[in-house]
């Protein structure tokens, strides 16, 4: 049997441990040796030793420390951009990967966004492709957290109020999320239009969140139109709907949630003499997401926007 010539380039690759490159990508993404160690369930010293080997091999320091964060050097930026596509392709060659029947789509949202996207997305999955399963998780999100979740392969898609700019991530605006003031049809005495004075003194149920945008806009509304704290802050939208339906409290929720659950909970919309804040909803995903998921998200975004 004739032999195939082996190039010098292939031979030179035997000097590089693929594990070193994958560790490098993880450190680059999270900027922390200890975080990578926790993710891989290995010691921080083992990660540090691997990084030291790669530094010697590449002839570059790769990272410099700034406080508690490791910042990449110019060479590390170039190295990451070159090897990430290669590692992504190699990940598809894992043993038994072709035997996996279901594609799991890991979805992250903030809790208050869940009822806006999860039911609709589940319906699309069931209607379009039964080979996809959905794993939904909630978390407090910001741009840095979203980037980390996607680059570290902890999430396939993230729905949030943040537009993410990253070379490895595609971000699309889904729709503008309008907020409305609600009250109980049965237990409240509020008219269809309330005055600033009534709003200022009303019992108001609010959503408890670390979302910087929501906190900022809520502080503006409170400063201009409120004389007291909210009577309840909760991370549960179901709790807001139930409490408002059974008491004289007011609540502020997305208009889409009101349209879906108004009759179920006996709620009515109350207009205000001032404009409530509006937020945009975005989907963020890695660029290499497969065609089925891309088509699913595209179809989903078109339907939700209407």
pLDDT of residue 262: 93
pLDDT category at 305 given cuts 50, 70, 90 is: very low
Q: Is the pLDDT of residue 37 over 70?
A: yes
Q: Which CATH number fits domain 103-175+280-305: 2.60.120.10, 3.30.710.10, 2.40.50.140, 3.40.190.10?
A: 3.40.190.10
In this structure, what token pair is assigned to residue 131? Answer: 């080979």
Task: Report which secondary-structure segment, H or E, holds 175.
Answer: strand 169-184
Would you say 293 and 105 are in contact if contact means Cβ atoms under 8 Å apart?
A: yes
- The yes-or-no answer to whether 16-87 and 103-175+280-305 have a common fold is no
Pairwise CA distance, residues 146 & 141, whole Å? 6
Instruction: Give strand pairing partners of 104.
Output: 133
Task: Report which secondary-structure segment, H or E, holds 300.
Answer: helix 291-305
pLDDT of residue 271: 93
178-278 is classed CATH 3.30.499.10: no
* Domain extents in the chain: 16-87, 103-175+280-305, 178-278
Q: Which CATH number fits domain 16-87: 1.10.10.10, 1.10.3470.10, 3.30.1330.10, 3.90.105.10?
A: 1.10.10.10
Write the pLDDT tens digit of every residue in 91-135: 666 554 443 444 778 889 988 888 888 888 888 877 775 677 788
Pairwise CA distance, residues 246 & 141, whole Å? 31
One DSSP character per residue, 209-260 reads ---HHHHHHHHHHHHHH-SS--SEEES-HHHHHHHHHHSS-EEEEEHHHHHH
Write the pLDDT tens digit of every residue in 207-260: 888 888 888 878 877 777 776 777 788 888 888 999 999 999 999 888 988 998
């Amino acid at each position: 049997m004739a032999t195939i010539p082996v190039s010098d380039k292939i031979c030179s690759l035997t000097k590089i441990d693929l594990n070193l490159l994958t560790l490098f990508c993880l450190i680059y993404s999270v900027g922390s040796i200890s975080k990578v160690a926790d993710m891989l369930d290995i010691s921080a010293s083992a990660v540090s030793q691997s990084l030291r080997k790669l530094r010697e091999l590449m002839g570059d320091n790769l990272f410099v420390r700034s406080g508690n964060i490791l910042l990449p050097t110019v060479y590390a930026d170039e190295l990451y951009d070159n090897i990430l596509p290669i590692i992504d392709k190699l990940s598809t060659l894992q043993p038994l990967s072709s035997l996996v029947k279901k594609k799991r789509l890991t979805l992250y949202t903030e809790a208050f966004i869940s009822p806006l996207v999860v039911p609709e997305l589940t319906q699309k999955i069931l209607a379009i492709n039964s080979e996809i399963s959905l794993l939904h998780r909630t978390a407090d999100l910001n741009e840095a957290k979203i980037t980390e979740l996607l680059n570290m392969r902890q999430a396939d898609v993230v729905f949030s109020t943040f537009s993410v700019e990253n070379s490895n991530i595609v971000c699309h605006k889904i729709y503008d999320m309008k907020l409305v003031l609600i009250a109980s049809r049965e237990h409240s005495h509020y008219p269809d239009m309330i005055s600033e004075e009534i709003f200022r003194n009303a019992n108001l149920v609010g959503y408890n969140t670390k979302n910087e945008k929501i906190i900022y806009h809520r502080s503006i509304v409170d400063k201009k139109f409120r004389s007291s704290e909210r009577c309840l802050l909760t991370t549960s939208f179901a709790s807001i709907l139930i409490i408002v339906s059974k008491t004289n409290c007011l609540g502020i929720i997305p208009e889409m949630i009101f349209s879906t659950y108004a009759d179920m909970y006996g709620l009515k919309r109350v207009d205000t003499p001032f404009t409530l804040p509006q937020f945009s909803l975005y989907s963020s995903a890695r660029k290499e997401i497969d065609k089925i998921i891309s088509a699913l998200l595209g179809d989903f975004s078109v339907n939700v926007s209407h």
